[in-house]
Structure 1
Amino acid sequence: MRTLDTWKGNKTARPVGFDAQTGFVHEWEEQLLEPGLLCRDGWVVVDESDTVVLDASEDPGAQSRCWPVPRPPGERRDLYLFAYGDDHASALAAGAQLFGSQPLPPRYAFGYWYSRYYPYTDRELLELAEQLDRNDVPVDVLVIDMDWHRVGWTGYSWDRDLFPDPTETLERLHERRLRVALNLHPADGVGRHEDAFAAMCDAVGLDPQTVDRVPFDVTDPRFVDAYFRLLHHPEEDRGVDFWWMDWQQGAESSIPGLDPLAWLNRLHWDDQAQRRPDRRPLIFSRWGGLGAGRYPIGFSGDTHAAWESLAFQPEFTATAANVLYGYWSHDIGGHFGSAPDPELYTRWIQFGAHSPILRTHGALGPDQERRLWEFPNPYRTVMIDAVRRRYELVPYIYGECRRGVDTGLSLVRPMYHEHPEATAAYEATDQYQLGDQMVVAPVVRPTDDDDMAAVRVWLPKGEWFDVAHGVRFDIDDDEGRWLERRYLLAEVPVFVRAGTVLPGQRGVRRLDAASYPNLVVTAYPGPAGQHTFYEDDGVTTGYESGRAVSVALNHRSTTSRRTVRIGAALGTYRGWLRRRPVEIRFVGEAPPRSVCVDGEVVPWAPRPLDGHWRYDAASTAVVVSLPRVDLRQGVLVAVERSTARHRAEAEALIDGYPGLARRIDLISERTRTLLQEDNRQIVTLSQTVDRIERDPWTLTSELGELRNRFDGLDALLERYLQVWTELQSLNPGDPPVATSTLAAARRLLTTTRDQFGGAPSTGDSRTP
């Protein structure tokens, strides 16, 4: 699919008539995605017979480079046969050799992109940058839509009413360590109103006195040379970091078989590579057919702001991996439609945080708000937390994308890439692999009346850990199993294999440092796991010649101890930080007898403190803060466990406690003022986290008491529901806020009891 412009979910509108009062009448038609280079039949044919070929151009303006030329006349076919059975990984690796691998974008591209179609002034744009920092929202890219230039669809000259001094504006944004992209619609050529009109006419041999426009002609080497030299290079020298080719004006050119978008993407990419050979090129454009993955990032177009659109994007993004196009960027929040529903926008942000590119966008309408801090809570907090979570994940995400350069695998990919023999893997279209180590099933539907949304996910055979709920699953079916779980607004369904160990970071607002300044290594419960942490400078092409660092991470767990070993770093590059702080997190772990670092005992502290360990009860994690680790030497961190009996008892209590505690907090927050003198009962339960963190060795008794008191919570809520029903009957004109709040809390409690009260509910193994 070249674009999702005007799509609603997987449907497009087809006009079928006209109504005098309402205008055109449309029917919505479902569109099916093709499987790309993969097929369950085992073979795929790619027909390139109708495309152009590249050859040396005789035009001196082409400067001896390859140029598109028509196929010679005659009957012939140009076919590529992919015959790999169900070995999807090998098919994609071969596709990468044939059509080109996906290069690694600059690291800042994996941060948050703020974009909105709005005629910002320089003052407003600078204030926006200030607001992002003031609200502690990490961000790396500001995208300025088409109103940066003079009025019109196509433009190359700054609108001085909005930006009196664009050079100063870009300098001030760069001082904040932000990257800036400008929108382009180049198809209309260069009009008389443009600053460079006369120079463009001279470059292509036109008389500026007799023409009003220099036509866009991507097949003319003279035009292409002037297009970059006169229109783009001066702005890049001024401070524009990359361009958004928002192309949507047809797929034909004067050369039969040449898609002008595909050629334009290549020209922009090559121009950047030639001008700055030590820097990674970056463009932001639309799909240009097989091979387009060589020029990331992709823009999926302007969709309708609807739940259907969000629900389609996980499948769409994952399926694009089948054609080696792994860097789709969607308009998070949607484009067309009324003011964004806060819940929909929140869930879209959460999906974006677990997708290739996190970029918000919206239409020109006055109510198309995209600033996260302008939304009411809890949406505001949850969205900002999701963006921060994205930045925490970047060391893992970036490393997985680097591996994809060599393997042909995209960051987001369908479940059947890893499990081609499982029928359910082809049916699980609402979920995807996020790299090798994570399965993500974004919430793409609104919450029910219990404040939770149902998610049905398929997991292959093995032991798994639900990161949001803190629950372990043992899937013993050879075909895997379908699970149904329910998630609060603040929760994202992410699953990892038991024992997984992953790199991350914390406390970062920008991704422009040559090394991750605050490393975090997280180990999830399970017997063993390993991962290779990858790092390079994030900007140059040095990674292509091996200028990078890799660090082996190993996690082991026995009955008596649990360890994370950070191996000695291999490789180097300019700017690599050898010594830095590292935080180790042992998730799903009871408070230990002791913690040792390279054999030396580390003291406990009730709060984060360098050189100490603490207990994070909300995530049931032992957290070890190391102020200075020499990554050339590595380090071994060991948690010495309690006796087997105490450990087994504690593990049974902490399984699912993060999800349970989150729900108790929510019930407490909403009902505390309605429970009168009995509010301390719910407060006591919600404060369990705090008491455990102040004295971790009380965990078993605290969680045992919580489980006992939890069973009586529904009776308490029911009693006060009756009290408030009687009170509200005395004032029938008042809205029933108290009773509706208590009734909603009881519904949440009922589902919570079903999901966390006893053994975790895993649903059944039936397919959807």
Structure 2
Amino acid sequence: MKSYITSNLQFTAHSQAEKTAYVQFSSYRITIFTNQLFRIEYDPSKQFEDRPTQTVWHRNITVPFEVSSNDSVHTITTKNWVIALDESKDQLDGLTITSIDGKTTITYPDSDSKNLNGTHRTLDMANGAIDLEPGLLSKRGITIYDDSSSVVFEQGEIVGVNNNEIDLYVFGYGHDYEQAIKDFYLVSGKTPLIPKYVFGNWWSRYWNYTDETYKAVINNFQQRNIPLSVAIIDMDWHITNVPQELRGGWTGYTWNKDLFPNPQAFMDWLHEKGLKISMNLHPADGIRPFDDCYEAVCKRMGIDPKDKQIIDFDLTNPLFIEAYFKDIHHVFEDQGVDFWWIDWQQGTQSKMKNLDPLFALNHYHFIDGLNRGKDHYFIFSRWSKLGSHRYPIGFSGDTFTTWESLDFQPYFTATASNVGYGWWSHDIGGHQGGTHDEELYTRWVQLGVFSPVMRLHSTKSYYSRREPWRYNQEVETTVKHFMQLRHQMIPYLHTFNHLHADGELPLIRPLYYQWPNEKKAYKYTNQYFFGTELMVRPFTSKTIKKLRMAKEQVWFKDGGWFHFFSGEYITNPGTYTFYGCMRDINVFAKEGAIIPFASNHENGLDDLPASLDIHLFPGNNNVFTLIEDQDGVVYKTSFTLTCTETSMTLMVQTTPKLSKNRTFNLLFRSVDIKSTVATDSAYETTKDSYNNTLRIQVPYDMDTPLDMTITSDNTILSNPFSFTEEIMNSIDLSALDTEEKNEIGYIDIVKPQESRGWLSWDKPLDEKVDDIDQLKIPKYAKKFIYKTAQRALKNDE
């Protein structure tokens, strides 16, 4: 008779290598997957491992290679590497791997001081930077991953540990980091497509809400026009007042009826509000006699409920696994739970050698939902080693609410790409500790908006609040703007969701993926790519108090980037200092960028939003394919942009065709709006002089291609950056006193004779820079003017 595991938790794996892919020498087996990825096994019993492991599911790929032997020494040669093995030596002491050009040689055991790191199980209790585990990429061009300690599967069940005494996977991709991660997905499995709603804003707070107080929070968001897509109910949904002899209240499967007297009605209400529901799990303490599910679990496991024994949590017991899903979690899912937050914090040990309970939870939960026909199912949990990307949204843990924690998270998120892990969710605002810091909260929200998942969260403290209206008016307005922007960004984000599920790279990637031979690409660790069109450097440091602006350095390998919000054009390569007030974040679009946003945050989650804003930047030719889906059909709309010095031509076409009328607002950004015209004047056209944007409203039927050209009498690319305006606006916002502001300057366009200060001096900017030290203003203000002047001069070169 089949168990629940073999009947319901099977998954597709191609774990047996092709016969032409491997060679065996006594206790050794070497498998060649690609010219740069291979497996080296050592097993004295010669029972080599062909079952899927925790990390590797697919071994059915290979390329041609050459083999030669001379007595005990065997050599395998691919296009990129030479593997030499002397089987007369102990274990792998006789292993040498050398690049074809002879520049790189490694032996086993291996120490890799140039490893670019991966990620970490959790940031629990972290206050700033922590050490990360090794990743699959190294500046030296080759890494070794040891899979020897992985658990293995048979017919869907985790049954034990890898047979091999040593089981190595060698990634020898040089600096082709992108291909290394793509090929990792070939052997480990792809990241599944996740639901579109994941990319909206999540509300979460550890708090003993009642149904009415929770509803009040949701209503407050909606009344203030701040969009949400997910409602998380933390652990107080269940009974928590449990005596220690019953192991306390962290675990529970019984609704707290004092707080939620009608759970079904409450969840129905949340769904009617358009929200998806997740509930928190701490399953380590098992099933207790007071749980509503207790008798059903006992019956399934053959336990007499009259004995009132605690049923231990044990994912090595097939009967417990069946009861865990059928009698507990399926019941709640039928009631309305859309996905689970697995908040496992109880260690890495179980009854099975090397089986981390967190991995078993992540894997079994995901496969259980997938095999019951749940569309794009996922779980929300901590990282449980390589292979975790398959499940796939990470909860990064309970960080401290400090600037140090915020400053670490951009690097932490981007570097996780080095182990193929793309969907991290952080506690936006910080989890615990710290103080009520309005600037810190705002900066964290901005980071969250330009992160894989945007989830507000805090611990159970009256003073740890994440509702935007708990802060001052400036903060609330700014946070509202960014949370609305997040929902507008969903079409762009969902496109990369599809690409990632097809085996492409994660949404967020470090700079060195694109510029691996540039030292500075490794230095600017808080700067990252956000999809193919954007580059981001959030503000993660405090504002300079009297200046009332924060500053960060941004590095540009090449010129040709536009500040997404202001339209400023960065002409030349180099490192630039950007200052920003609370509403600012450093987001840059590449030349020729094509960025589709929903026109309104209210329809960002729609399958095919009725209106899209297509941001189009000049300077380069480009193709971007917007990927959408509806009723199981995937629609791809290709935007082809052709740029010359005086024109921009856009062609749009959708496959498969669909008779659906939409509105595309074509936003030609940073263009010469004074002389630029569209080829079809019948379209509604408006011009924005703030960031030099020409907006053309175009009807688009998905079954009819679109062709649009704009032309200019002058060079079409126009840089709206004004050094004088930036200085004036920034000084106006600052806390400098009147005399200090007057020292810097006031420009009266109507009455030039009324102008005063440094800005009005009748000198070119490069000469005025030499005189900054003469100004009677604080050093930080001088530095601000100097840095901004240097940015202007660099772009004028």
Instruction: Report the TM-score when normalising by structure 1.
Output: 0.79
CA positional deviation for 1:750: 6.2
Tell me how far apart the structure 1 counterparts of residues 646 and 183 of structure 2 sit (CA, whole Å): 46
Contact 1:93 1:408 in 2 (8 A): yes
Tell me how far apart the structure 1 counterparts of residues 501 and 298 of structure 2 sit (CA, whole Å): 42
Identify the range of structure 1 (707-716 vs 394-403) with the bigger mean alpha-carbon deviation. Answer: 707-716
Q: What's the counterpart of residue 195 of structure 2?
A: 106
Tell me how far apart the structure 2 counterparts of residues 365 and 532 of structure 1 sit (CA, whole Å): 45
1:42 aligns with 2:141: yes
- Corresponding residue SS for 1:284: strand
1:8 aligns with 2:107: no
Tell me how far apart the structure 2 counterparts of residues 593 and 405 of structure 1 sit (CA, whole Å): 43
Superposed, 1:691-730 pairs within 5 Å as 705=749, 712=756
Identify the range of structure 1 (42-51 vs 155-164) with the bigger mean alpha-carbon deviation. Answer: 42-51
Q: Residues 336, 148 of structure 1: CA spacing in aligned structure 2 closer, same or farther, 3 A cutoff?
A: same
Q: What's the counterpart of residue 621 of structure 1?
A: 693
Residue among 336, 349, 361 paired with 2:457: 361
> AA paired with 1:581?
T
Superposed, 1:157-168 pairs within 5 Å as 157-168=254-265
Which runs of 4 or more aligned residues in structure 1 lie more than 6 Å from their structure 2 counterparts after TM superposition?
669-675, 706-711, 713-716, 743-752
Superposed, 1:161-200 pairs within 5 Å as 161-200=258-297
Residue among 532, 548, 551 paired with 2:625: 532
> AA paired with 1:443?
F
Identify the range of structure 1 (518-527 vs 461-470) with the bigger mean alpha-carbon deviation. Answer: 461-470
> AA paired with 1:616?
D
Contact 1:140 1:511 in 2 (8 A): no
Superposed, 1:48-197 pairs within 5 Å as 48-56=147-155, 66-71=156-161, 76-151=165-240, 152-197=249-294
Question: Unaligned regions of 5+ residues in structure 1, if any?
Answer: 11-30, 57-65, 603-610, 686-704, 717-742, 764-768
Q: What's the counterpart of residue 720 of structure 2?
A: 655
CA positional deviation for 1:752: 6.8
Contact 2:673 2:689 in 1 (8 A): no
Superposed, 1:219-230 pairs within 5 Å as 219-230=316-327
Contact 2:128 2:406 in 1 (8 A): yes
- Corresponding residue SS for 1:297: strand
Tell me how far apart the structure 2 counterparts of residues 708 and 571 of structure 1 sit (CA, whole Å): 61
Give CA deviations for 1:243-275 in whole Å, capped at 9, x if unaligned: 100011111111111111111111111111122
Q: What's the counterpart of residue 792 of structure 2?
A: 760
CA positional deviation for 1:340: 3.2
1:552 aligns with 2:638: yes
Contact 2:489 2:604 in 1 (8 A): no
Q: What's the counterpart of residue 465 of structure 1?
A: 562
1:33 aligns with 2:132: yes
- Aligned alpha-carbon RMSD (Å): 3.0
Question: Unaligned regions of 5+ residues in structure 2, if any?
Answer: 1-119, 241-248, 761-774
Q: What's the counterpart of residue 484 of structure 1?
A: 577
- Corresponding residue SS for 1:548: strand
1:582 aligns with 2:701: no
Contact 2:487 2:605 in 1 (8 A): no
Give CA deviations for 1:26-50 in whole Å, capped at 9, x if unaligned: xxxxx32244111112211111112
Tell me how far apart the structure 1 counterparts of residues 792 and 168 of structure 2 sit (CA, whole Å): 52
CA positional deviation for 1:369: 0.9
Q: What's the counterpart of residue 702 of structure 2?
A: 631
Tell me how far apart the structure 2 counterparts of residues 706 and 483 of structure 1 sit (CA, whole Å): 33
Give CA deviations for 1:218-257 in whole Å, capped at 9, x if unaligned: 1111111111111111111111111100011111111111
Contact 2:527 2:538 in 1 (8 A): yes
1:640 aligns with 2:711: yes
1:501 aligns with 2:594: yes
Tell me how far apart the structure 1 counterparts of residues 503 and 377 of structure 2 sit (CA, whole Å): 21
Q: What's the counterpart of residue 84 of structure 2?
A: none
Q: What's the counterpart of residue 234 of structure 1?
A: 331
Tell me how far apart the structure 2 counterparts of residues 351 and 294 of structure 1 sit (CA, whole Å): 25
Give CA deviations for 1:674-727 in whole Å, capped at 9, x if unaligned: 99xx9xx98x98xxxxxxxxxxxxxxxxxxx499799647799xxxxxxxxxxx
Tell me how far apart the structure 1 counterparts of residues 750 and 445 of structure 2 sit (CA, whole Å): 34
- Corresponding residue SS for 2:502: helix
Relative contact order higher in (CA < 8 Å, ≥ 6 apart): 1
- Corresponding residue SS for 1:9: coil
> AA paired with 1:191?
R
Give CA deviations for 1:553-600 in whole Å, capped at 9, x if unaligned: 1233334433333x220126xxx772111111111123244633xx43
Q: Which has the higher helix share?
A: 1
CA positional deviation for 1:668: 5.5
Give CA deviations for 1:458-502 in whole Å, capped at 9, x if unaligned: 2222422222443222335xxxx3222222221111122222121
Tell me how far apart the structure 1 counterparts of residues 600 and 195 of structure 2 sit (CA, whole Å): 20
Q: Residues 193, 510 of structure 1: CA spacing in aligned structure 2 closer, same or farther, 3 A cutoff?
A: farther
Superposed, 1:669-708 pairs within 5 Å as 705=749
Q: Residues 431, 643 of structure 1: CA spacing in aligned structure 2 closer, same or farther, 3 A cutoff?
A: closer
CA positional deviation for 1:511: 4.7
Tell me how far apart the structure 2 counterparts of residues 137 and 339 of structure 1 sit (CA, whole Å): 24
1:280 aligns with 2:388: no
CA positional deviation for 1:72: 7.2
Q: Residues 383, 256 of structure 1: CA spacing in aligned structure 2 closer, same or farther, 3 A cutoff?
A: same
> AA paired with 1:308?
E
Tell me how far apart the structure 2 counterparts of residues 709 and 146 of structure 1 sit (CA, whole Å): 67
Give CA deviations for 1:19-70 in whole Å, capped at 9, x if unaligned: xxxxxxxxxxxx32244111112211111112221114xxxxxxxxx21112
Tell me how far apart the structure 2 counterparts of residues 466 and 706 of structure 1 sit (CA, whole Å): 30
CA positional deviation for 1:671: 9.5
Residue among 531, 550, 558 paired with 1:435: 531
Contact 1:108 1:511 in 2 (8 A): no
CA positional deviation for 1:181: 0.5
- Corresponding residue SS for 2:551: strand
Tell me how far apart the structure 2 counterparts of residues 665 and 429 of structure 1 sit (CA, whole Å): 30
What is the number of residues matched between the two proteins? 649
CA positional deviation for 1:624: 1.4
Tell me how far apart the structure 1 counterparts of residues 176 and 400 of structure 2 sit (CA, whole Å): 36
Give CA deviations for 1:190-214 in whole Å, capped at 9, x if unaligned: 1111111121122212222223311
Contact 1:562 1:641 in 2 (8 A): no
Q: What's the counterpart of residue 26 of structure 1?
A: none
Q: Residues 616, 467 of structure 1: CA spacing in aligned structure 2 closer, same or farther, 3 A cutoff?
A: same
Q: What's the counterpart of residue 410 of structure 1?
A: 506
Give CA deviations for 1:613-644 in whole Å, capped at 9, x if unaligned: 11122222111123x32132132333332356
CA positional deviation for 1:303: 0.5
Q: Residues 262, 600 of structure 1: CA spacing in aligned structure 2 closer, same or farther, 3 A cutoff?
A: same
Q: What's the counterpart of residue 591 of structure 1?
A: 673
Identity %, equivalent residues: 33
> AA paired with 1:178?
L
Residue among 268, 288, 298 paired with 1:201: 298
Tell me how far apart the structure 2 counterparts of residues 444 and 88 of structure 1 sit (CA, whole Å): 27
CA positional deviation for 1:115: 0.6
Contact 1:324 1:408 in 2 (8 A): no
> AA paired with 1:556?
T
- Corresponding residue SS for 2:161: coil
> AA paired with 1:188?
D
Identify the range of structure 1 (155-164 vs 464-473) with the bigger mean alpha-carbon deviation. Answer: 464-473
- Corresponding residue SS for 2:601: coil
- Corresponding residue SS for 2:150: coil
Q: Residues 758, 211 of structure 1: CA spacing in aligned structure 2 closer, same or farther, 3 A cutoff?
A: closer
Contact 2:598 2:604 in 1 (8 A): no
Q: What's the counterpart of residue 601 of structure 1?
A: 681
Q: What's the counterpart of residue 44 of structure 2?
A: none
Contact 2:566 2:690 in 1 (8 A): no
1:571 aligns with 2:690: no
